[in-house]
Structure 1
């Protein structure tokens, strides 16, 4: 029964914490850099059209981009309605439509026989009024839960189930504590420091009662009821009713900021010159890489994506071969000529 409850809590968590209902597919093409430094964005929300157009992008109906999508999860993304295209430098084609702004860098290093290209982008940590997640999950647990990294391949599915149950309980505790702390900060201006400190001291006991009643997003009205259930009376509910407009406004401002992060997720594709030789992307082929970017991966810190490609400089190879041929030809030619002169003298 406990396992079923935990699984239900996990489902509710993902439904409430993750409001993603739409996504972008961003495709940057540097395969012929700098001439081909263009970017194409596929999206579904028609309200974004004006935003793109104001930034100088050309927007058109995309239909179904058959042949564009790859295999696996990306191959299923066939429902894009609009396509925005931009030709120009990356500085002009910033990822402005993503709430968490990425800092991008594209470098070209000439190495005579080859030219190396390095793409790098850093997505900053989510700026949310949340409790420090590292106080609830250690680094190993965060890597497993937030990014799917560090899972021991020798662990059986049965063992992994219990490990994930344990991490899930910690994550839910962090989630509830974050809402609790935020609501307490909203009420603190009305209850005074002494009472606010008392609420924070009793946080674990109060949250244990809330968890027993089920998992839910805690709005100010629910927070007031929660405190009344714990302390008795209707003091906090009455306090909320008297200041409803201000408390709800502050809460909604924060809630809107959370939705800016979580209502859309992002598939980020980069096409590189030459052949990919190194990348931290899980999806890649000979000359393109794709990352799945979702803010939950950035709850505990920034996320960096990198790709390195290498292109053979044919002209440099030809020049090198000719140079090597010349270097070999003259000594050999001189040696042959010298040998012929010796033979002619002997006769």
Structure 2
């Protein structure tokens, strides 16, 4: 049986993220600044029975109207089923709320602190009057994830590479063809996974250090600090024949110090060790959530910084990966015709024509 290393693997993290969920967010904006929003999710039986501690929503739903749905109704989370982004899910509950973005926008509270980047976007609506049209510009900003683990991702991917890999930003890669982009993306993905593996290793090592310092047994705590780099080199050497994520930390440390201390200690205190590790990895659960953000603007849509559409409705995919390089900003602009301006202009134009005709008739 695996010891410490068993839960310190990517497969363990995927199990932790299995409670994650998909969300559909439908936002309707009106010319007077009113916003009507519906957010769909899948609630378990406890939540559907009224236990809000099992809420599937990323934010607190206090003050929102809760509406159960027919669980058999399918929702395509992202695009068409044939689209690689597409995923059909069954959502059985929605919450709804209306507010005025210029007067009393709601104060969103994340259901858990680490959910804040996805749960609390910053939204702004601007209104610009022109004679024939009134323009509306809506901006929704999801803030960058600040907690990115023990190793800076910039050691593996620069900002331009992060924006390409996580946000699809081709600004610095214009002129590349598909084959060249494919090679580039394969290289970036490989480096990203290397960053992920090494970050995971650091979290595993930090967990062992913290557990050892709290255990009351100080035999190895000073040695772990002094030998950290050497232990990592040993792990990297061993990973040449396998991979870093599958290395059993208990076996690695036992072999390094010629002891059975770590494997034995894990069996005695595994619940505490596992709890420490899960707490350190809790923000990783954020990557199990995705949002389909649908937006309906007043009047006719002019521009939106997404090419994804369902009919006339633009939508964006929002997830934690897109928040790694920086803020992820959703923008759209629409215009509403000022009918009265057309009427007045037509009337004035008619008066001008009549005046010209009258003056000509007088001559």
Q: Same fold (TM over 0.5)?
A: yes
Aligned residue for 2:37, secondary structure, equals: strand
Question: By how many angstroms is 1:272 displaced?
Answer: 0.7
Residues 6-85 of structure 1: matches in 2 within 5 Å? 19=18, 22-30=21-29, 32-34=30-32, 37-46=35-44, 50=52, 51=55, 54-63=62-71, 72-73=80-81, 77=88, 79-85=90-96
CA pair 164-209 structure 1, distance change in 2 beyond 3 A: farther
Give the aligned CA root-mean-square deviation in angstroms. Answer: 3.7
Aligned partner of 2:295 among 270, 275, 285: 270
Q: Aligned pair count?
A: 322
2:275 aligns with: 249
Structure 1 window deviating more from structure 2 (162-171 vs 238-247): it is: 238-247
CA pair 108-48 structure 1, distance change in 2 beyond 3 A: farther
Question: By how many angstroms is 1:88 displaced?
Answer: 2.6
Distance in 2 separating the partners of 1:105 and 1:217: 46
1:121 aligns with: 140
2:325 matched to 1:300? Answer: yes
Query: Structure 2: 5+ residue runs without aligned partners?
Result: 1-9, 214-219
CA pair 138-257 structure 1, distance change in 2 beyond 3 A: closer
Aligned partner of 2:239 among 194, 200, 210: 210
CA pair 211-240 structure 1, distance change in 2 beyond 3 A: farther
Residues 78-117 of structure 1: matches in 2 within 5 Å? 79-89=90-100, 91-92=105-106, 94=108, 96=110, 99-100=116-117, 101-117=120-136
2:189 aligns with: 168
Is the 8 Å Cα contact of residues 23 and 43 (structure 1) preserved in structure 2? yes
Aligned residue for 1:112, secondary structure, equals: coil
TM-score under structure 1 length normalisation: 0.76
2:163 aligns with: 143
CA pair 201-66 structure 1, distance change in 2 beyond 3 A: closer
2:206 matched to 1:185? Answer: yes
Distance in 2 separating the partners of 1:217 and 1:36: 52
Distance in 2 separating the partners of 1:132 and 1:17: 23
Aligned residue for 1:72, secondary structure, equals: coil
2:177 matched to 1:155? Answer: yes
Aligned residue for 2:40, secondary structure, equals: strand
Query: Structure 1: 5+ residue runs without aligned partners?
Result: 1-10, 340-347
Bigger-Rg structure (1/2): 1
Is the 8 Å Cα contact of residues 201 and 244 (structure 2) preserved in structure 1? no
Is the 8 Å Cα contact of residues 287 and 309 (structure 1) preserved in structure 2? no
TM-score under structure 2 length normalisation: 0.73
CA pair 67-248 structure 1, distance change in 2 beyond 3 A: closer
CA pair 213-320 structure 1, distance change in 2 beyond 3 A: same
Aligned partner of 1:199 among 228, 238, 241: 228
Distance in 1 separating the partners of 2:109 and 2:338: 31
Distance in 1 separating the partners of 2:109 and 2:135: 24
Distance in 2 separating the partners of 1:276 and 1:213: 53
